[in-house]
Amino acid sequence: MVWAASTEIFVPYEERIHGTLEALEKAMKADDREHIAPSMCYAYAALMEQAPFVMGAPNTTIDIPAMWQLAEKTRMPIAGKDFKTGQTLVKSGFAPIIGTRCLGLSGWFSTNILGNRDGLVLDEPANFRTKEVSKLSTLETILQGEEQPDLYGDLYHKVRINYYPPRNDNKEGWDNIDIFGWMGYPMQIKINFLCRDSILAAPLVLDLALLSDLAVRAGRWGIQRFLGFFLKSPMHDFTQNEQPVNHLFQQYTMLKNAIREMGGYEADEELD
């Protein structure tokens, strides 16, 4: 099952409810709508029916310890969250250019124009908050300010989504990037990605379905980190202080290595 519906209202992590499978099941039976999103019910049903589950929206559905426990119990693969199709795809590929050349980054402003149903849903602040969390996570894990504070310690990152009906499914992602180079000299980069939302997302759905099925047949279960290549906010075990991998080229290496491993071959590239 690949969730391709739109964004739900942000449901913050609550250890008392989401920390264990037993507590989650109790809340579901009690119809606790404050802590149980509709997509959680779909994910629970899918895993109990021995179907892998991939979250293609930024919902926190399976990004909780209770669902990880269910995936372990049912021995099913899970992955998420939020398809990486447009602006964040560009961001996860372009930010490494800035980092590898040790260019400084003062600010990155991203705005989106979208006219389809997803744009309408995200026009609601409560829904946008869920999307904002996933879109903001990319830069901070690629350009780590604590390791290079002179270059990235004071980074200002802003994301906006604007519903504009005349565009329909045509999405425009516009980025203004303020960088600085040697001796602090300021420069700017502008990126304007005009794309079609569903045309970019559809192949990802097919790939995620095929690769999730492959994972089942290869005897893999739990969080499938190699599928992060397709996702904005890759799942990771935050309870163990694990950091997500958002660097596009590292994600691609993880994807290729996992497929080779499932095919009985050695990894062709090593990750640092």
List phi, psi (to 5°) of 59.
-60, 150
CB atoms within 10 A of CB 142: 21
* pLDDT over 90 (residue 7): no
Of 46 and 133, which is predicted with more confidence? Answer: 46
Return the percentage of the chain with pLDDT > 90, whole number. Answer: 71
For residue 57, give the 3-state DSSP assignment. coil
Residue 5 confidence (pLDDT) above 90: no
* Average pLDDT along the chain: 91
pTM recorded for the entire structure: 0.89
Over residues 9-19, the pLDDT tens digits come to: 888 889 999 99
Determine phi and psi for 157, rounding to 5 degrees.
Answer: -120, 120
pLDDT at 111 over 90: yes
Is the per-residue pLDDT at 40 higher than 90?
yes
| 145: DSSP letter | T
Q: What confidence category does residue 125 fall into, taking pLDDT thresholds of 50, 70 and 90?
A: confident
User: Minimal CA–CA distance to 227: which of 79, 82, 90, 89?
Assistant: 79
Band the pLDDT of 194: cuts 50, 70, 90.
very high
DSSP E strands: which ranges in the chain? 2-3, 53-55, 77-80, 104-114, 156-163, 170-180, 186-196, 222-223
pLDDT tens per residue, range 213-268: 999 999 999 999 999 999 999 988 887 888 889 999 999 999 999 999 999 998 87
